[in-house]
Amino acid sequence: MDTSKDEKKLLKYTYLLCIVCFANLAILKQPYDKGAIVMAVVTCILIGYSYFIIRKFFSDGDKYIFIFSSILSVIGMVMIYRLNIMYSIKQIIWFAVGVTGFILIVVLFPSLKSFGKYKYFYLIVTVLFMSLGSLMGKEINGSKNWIVIAGYQFQPSEFGKLFLVAYLAAALKDYKSFKNLIEPGIVVMVCIGFMVLQKDLGSALIFFGISITMLYIATSKFKYVAICFGLFCVGAFVSYHIFDHVRARVLIWENPWPYASGKSYQVVQSMFSIASGGFTGSGLGLGHPEYVPVNTTDFIYAALCEELGILMGFAIIILFFLLFYRCMRAAVYGSDVFSRLLAVGYSAMIASQVLVIVGGVMNAIPLTGVTLPLVSYGGSSMLITFFSLGIIQKISEEGR
């Protein structure tokens, strides 16, 4: 069935959203902000040209993966431009690089079946990236998970996620008995341990979400998932009693109000921001998201809800759900076990990250410092998300 008409219609709505939002920001400034219009035009050209390349030369795959990711990126770039113009310029550069990587993966990568034999390469690279924060990390916003090289900051654990999923897919594709799960189980525990030591609890939760999802898909045995949950609870209990930062996060989550001017300042300001926006928001450019700390990264969801309302908050969650659905759909049609597990792992990675940060911003779970994929400012997150989606797009091409 040819879906190109529906895709092009959705693409037109994406252009309209981009132009209307940036035009709104342009007319709010005196004199007229030409930079906002330039951002809108450049963004639309990038999206349109990328879609044209994928549709023309690789017409079999699921193009909605790219379209939904583009809509989310547009929403993020609009909000980042409203908050910090310099950050938005950097973000559109990262968006261009990420989309280029997406296309190159689809165009240049050979069949992904052949990559399943490099299990131990993925293992070595995974452990290397996960340990870099502990060995060379610089503490930023309470977490020691940043590496600074030549003035550029990046999170090695972001790149570690890519290789962890590849390793688990290569390890679990040959599952026959419990013995095949011992090695990947140890690797996952080591990775989560590094994240706890680096005070990066968000990544620890994401790795756990990825692991149990891939485990269940590979084995179809709920008892293994139950065992993993039990081990996770034991680990969480031990971490709570050993590490002060874990106790602080739980304390804030249980009752943030007594510490509103100190430990829980971020989450309290976030909840105030979301509440002040109400159902429809104060209007783009008319709110006060500057009162929310780190509003371009960890708390951009709160800033969006304040100015565009909880309606936009629901819309973002729905868009992520649709993206997750299309990615999992690619897994269903995957041509081999390794490809299917890759698609499941990368889909779970994105979904887990969304649940962790949205839950933390709304204080539904203990706050953890991770970015909202595609929406938050950050080069590492943007690149890794588009690389992951590029691999899923490649799987959807091969499965048709």
pLDDT in tens, 258-288: 887 777 888 888 898 999 888 888 888 888 8
Which segment of 51-60, 74-83, 233-242, 317-326 scores lowest on mean pLDDT? 51-60
Q: Mean of the per-residue pLDDT values for the chain? A: 87
Q: Which H or E element spans position 181? A: helix 179-197
Structure confidence at residue 247 as a pLDDT band (50, 70, 90): confident
pLDDT in tens, 128-150: 988 887 777 666 655 666 777 76
The structure's pTM equals 0.92
Structure confidence at residue 221 as a pLDDT band (50, 70, 90): confident
Pair of tokens at residue 113 = 């079946």
User: pLDDT value at position 165?
Assistant: 93
Structure confidence at residue 312 as a pLDDT band (50, 70, 90): very high
% of residues, the chain, pLDDT over 70: 95
Pair of tokens at residue 317 = 């969650």
DSSP state of 148: E
317 close to 372: Cβ distance less than 8 angstroms: no
Place of tokens 């700390």: 293
Q: Answer positive or negative: Cα dihedral of 83, 85, 86, 92.
A: positive
Give me the residues paired with residue 339 across strands: none
With a cut of 60, say whether residue 1 has pLDDT above it.
Answer: no
With a cut of 90, say whether residue 75 has pLDDT above it.
Answer: yes
Task: List the domain boundaries for the chain.
Answer: 4-398
Helix (H/G/I), strand (E/B), else coil: 255: coil
With a cut of 70, say whether residue 2 has pLDDT above it.
Answer: no
| DSSP-derived secondary structure for 62-124 | -THHHHHHHHHHHHHHHHHHHH-HHHHHHHHHHHHHHHHHHHHHHHH---GGGGGG-HHHHHH
On the 0-12 / 13-18 / 19+ scale of CB atoms within 10 A, 13 is exposed
Please report, for residues 37, 80, 86, 282, 288, the alpha-carbon distance to residue 32 in angstroms, rounded to integers and kept in the order given: 10, 18, 18, 21, 21
With a cut of 70, say whether residue 89 has pLDDT above it.
Answer: yes
Give mean pLDDT, residues 201-205.
83
163 close to 119: Cβ distance less than 8 angstroms: no
Instruction: Please state, in angstroms and rounded to a whole number, the distance separating the CA atoms of residues 255 and 358.
Output: 18
Structure confidence at residue 155 as a pLDDT band (50, 70, 90): confident
364 close to 252: Cβ distance less than 8 angstroms: no
